[in-house]
Structure 1
Amino acid sequence: MATTVNIVCKRTVVSTKAIEPGKYLPLSVLDRFMEKNHIRMVYYYQTSGELELGKLTKKLRETLSEMLTHFPIVTGRLLRDDMGHWKIKCNDAGVRTLEAKAKGSVEEWLRNVDREKELELVYWEDMLEKPYYWSTFYVQV
């Protein structure tokens, strides 16, 4: 079983409706408290071998695009306000999605997984010097 994950492609998914221009949202107190913390989550799903990965990711992108219409804050980008606190500029920048492959089955992986191996399943990109171009959310399939 491979211990590395190979990224097949990286895309941006945008909302099905344009975002209202000039809309900014401040981060909550909890959001600001969590600034130094990062959450990486891995969900395991079994699928039948009948479904091609490309069709699965296409459906995911379409569904995600619909969801973003109702939660425009997710597609925004981080900026600092005059006091140095983060705020989100709601825009149509979208959410990054990655399609990746790893050898083996979910069962094999779960029998041999440890924290370091599991982190290989989660794409991570450090915040850029200009966070406006950095996506706050990634979805990897």
Structure 2
Amino acid sequence: MQSKAQNIEEYLNELPKDRKTAMNNLRETILANIPKGFNEEMSYGMIGYVLPHSIYPNGYHCNTKLPLPFINIASQKNFIALYHMGIYASPDLLKWFTDEFPKHSNQKLDMGKSCIRFKKADQIPFNLIADLVQKMSVEEWIAIYESQIKK
């Protein structure tokens, strides 16, 4: 579900009551831990954390007018989602995350290629998300991204 919200405040205001606290906490966790250089903005109808053109002028290869995406968070129909492109692109980061998850949650990890799904808003492991967000710098993300798109 992509929101038509024009800005983050509008996005947060349209959330169902049972998701607002978790989404705000997830957003604050990311903002407090994301390395310098990433910008927060609406991206693909979700809250996104991207590399702006001022840092990565090439933009996203699928649409170079867009900044390079890194993380998105969204309130979907049946879950809260965290999309982390670094997990998708880095097998080492994926392994670290899947190894760490059981140490932070008694829930089964529900994950796609880059999507981590949380069906219970009160069971999001915010400390683990904080660690995950810190694991990749701007420079590391650019290097991994470029190594993937040049294959």
Interval containing the TM-score (normalised by the shorter chain): under 0.3
Report which structure shows greater RCO (CA 8 Å, sep ≥6).
Answer: 1
TM-score between the two structures when normalised by the length of structure 1: 0.23
* Higher helix content, 1 or 2: 2
Larger of the two Rg values belongs to structure: 1
